[in-house]
Amino acid sequence: MRPFFLAMAATLSITSAAVGAQPLAPVGEIKGDAWVHTPESLAATVQQADVCLPPATAGGTGFCGKFKDIPKQAGTAFPVIVFLHGSSGLGLKAIGEWQQWLASLGYASVAPNSFTLAGHVTYKSPIDKDAYEKILALRASEIAPTLTALKSQSWADPARLILAGTSEGAVPVARYTGTEFVARMLFAWSCEANYFVKEPLNAFEPGKPVLNVISATDPFFSRSNTWLGNPQAEGHCGAALKDNPRAAVLLVPNAPHTLLNLPAARSATAGFLALLGKAKP
């Protein structure tokens, strides 16, 4: 896999509001009272996960549905993308569309359902950093049971696992300290200090491939956000990945926060996955 770095840095812009007088940050809001998974809800994050399998599984028809409903499989083991959704949960239509697209490329995907926890905290940003960190810890706890569940699935190749996430879900991807995944993909997160984290705490493994795709003017994590909390922020993971020759950063001009299915994002994702060599463990 050749080193590559994609960046449209020229598309970055700083609005006059960001460099001039700073307006007051909006008032955040927290709802719910459950900050930590129970053993039951943690197990349910996997059983209620959204899964999409390539057409070569399930008798040649493929499968998209809940993990608990996966038909018994035999034969080919596929690379698997474990995907952590953002704060909106799996109700975001874009996630299902993205998983179906991944299946068409020959990749299985599993998206744990964080909202199996009754009273799961939800929020409207900005809130305090302690609250964000507790939410991020809750999300990080969903990775281990997903890995355990995949060990019993004949369609999952344990040597070709990829960890991915978007927005809130991308932070645990950047922070993950395990070695089970051959690559990581981060959408709509900048890997930087800002209002969303106490510290970035990035834990990228040296030399392992990483893809970062984010809007050039992300409404939350670029300097277009006047309450970002970091006037020197670049708005992407470039600084965190600068020493990794197998990292790629794509800034998509004028893109919204949710950008999984934009042509540029899909093209970068498909190219990144192709370079991983999905046909050979």
Mind listing the pLDDT tens digit for each residue in 238-257? Answer: 999 999 999 999 999 999 99
Q: Give residue-wise pLDDT tens across range 42-57.
A: 999 999 999 999 987 6
**Band (9; pLDDT cuts 50, 70, 90):** very low
Instruction: Quote the pTM value.
Output: 0.90
Separation CA 3–CA 258 (nearest Å): 27
Q: Give residue-wise pLDDT tens across range 222-231.
A: 999 999 999 9
Separation CA 142–CA 43 (nearest Å): 9
Asked if 21 contacts 118 with a C-beta cutoff of 8 angstroms, the reply is no
Which is it for strands 183-187 and 156-166: parallel, antiparallel or unpaired?
parallel
Mean pLDDT of the 160-173 span: 98
Cα angle: 64, vertex 67, 73; to 5 degrees: 75
Average pLDDT across the chain, whole number = 90
Tokens in use for 2?
């050749």
Mean pLDDT of the 90-100 span: 96
pLDDT at 184: 98
Mean pLDDT of the 269-276 span: 95
**Band (23; pLDDT cuts 50, 70, 90):** low
47 CB contacts (<8 Å, ≥6 apart)? 66, 67, 68, 116
Q: Is the pLDDT of residue 13 over 70?
A: no
pLDDT at 281: 38
Q: Is the pLDDT of residue 115 over 90?
A: yes
Q: Which domains does the chain have, with CATH numbers?
A: 9-15+26-276 (3.40.50.1820)
DSSP per position, 42-97: HHHHHHT-EEEE-TTSGGGT-EEEEGGGPPP--S--EEEEEEE--TTGGG-HHHHH
- Who wins on pLDDT, 279 or 214? 214
Residue 247 host element (H or E): strand 247-252
Asked if 42 contacts 63 with a C-beta cutoff of 8 angstroms, the reply is no
DSSP symbol at 275: H
Separation CA 56–CA 76 (nearest Å): 8
pLDDT at 100: 97
Q: Is the pLDDT of residue 34 over 60?
A: yes
Separation CA 182–CA 210 (nearest Å): 9
